[in-house]
Amino acid sequence: MAEPGISIPTHPAFETKFPVRHADARSAVTASGAYVSHVTYENMVLLINEAFDIFLASTGDSKWNIAGSNIIVPKMEIEFKSEVKAGEVLTFQVTPTNFGNKSFDLITVALKGNGEIAAVAKTVLIFFDYKDKKTVAVPEPFKKRFQAG
C-alpha cells in the first residue's frame, strides 16, 4: 500500500535561493551505458540543511539557540520528484508546522527554476536540553511566530 505524501504548505514561511554546486552532484555511467549526473540523496539532505540554517538566521536563531532552546532531529524523510543538476538554482521554501508540546515539523520544498518540485522534505525537530538530557517545551516565542491562528 502506498504511503500518503508529505503535505506541502500553501503559504511558505520563508524562501531562499542558492545554486547547486558541482560537489553536490555525482556523475556515473550506469549498467546500461547511460551517463547520469545529478544531485545525490545525501547531498539533497545537505542542501535542505543549508536552507534550514538560512531560515533560522533570518529569524535571529541558530540550531544551537532557537529562542533560548536547542533541538534534536529524530526523523527526516525526503520525496524526490525531479532530477537536479549542478549549476541549477533551487528555491527552498521552509515552513515550520504541526506544532506539538515539544516538537514541530519542518517542511522544506525545493523548487527548480521552472517551478517544478525537485524534492519535498519533512524534518521532525524536538526541543532538547543537552545539559539535563531531556526534552523541553517548544519555546512560545518561536511557536507564536509560525503557528496559525
pLDDT for 102-137, tens place per residue? 999 999 999 999 999 999 999 999 999 999 999 999
Domain annotation covers residue 3: no
Rg (C-alpha) for the chain, rounded Å, is 17
Mean pLDDT of 62-71: 94
Domain containing residue 95: CATH number: 3.10.129.10
Domain annotation covers residue 43: yes
Domain annotation covers residue 50: yes
Q: How many domains does the chain have?
A: 1
Determine the structural domain holding residue 132 and report its residue range. Answer: 14-146
Domain annotation covers residue 9: no
What 3-state class would DSSP assign to 7?
Answer: coil
Domain annotation covers residue 125: yes
Q: Is the pTM of this model over 0.85?
A: yes
Domain annotation covers residue 6: no
Helix, strand and coil content of the chain, in percent to the nearest 5, comes to 20, 45, 40
pLDDT tens profile 31-49:
888 777 889 889 999 999 9
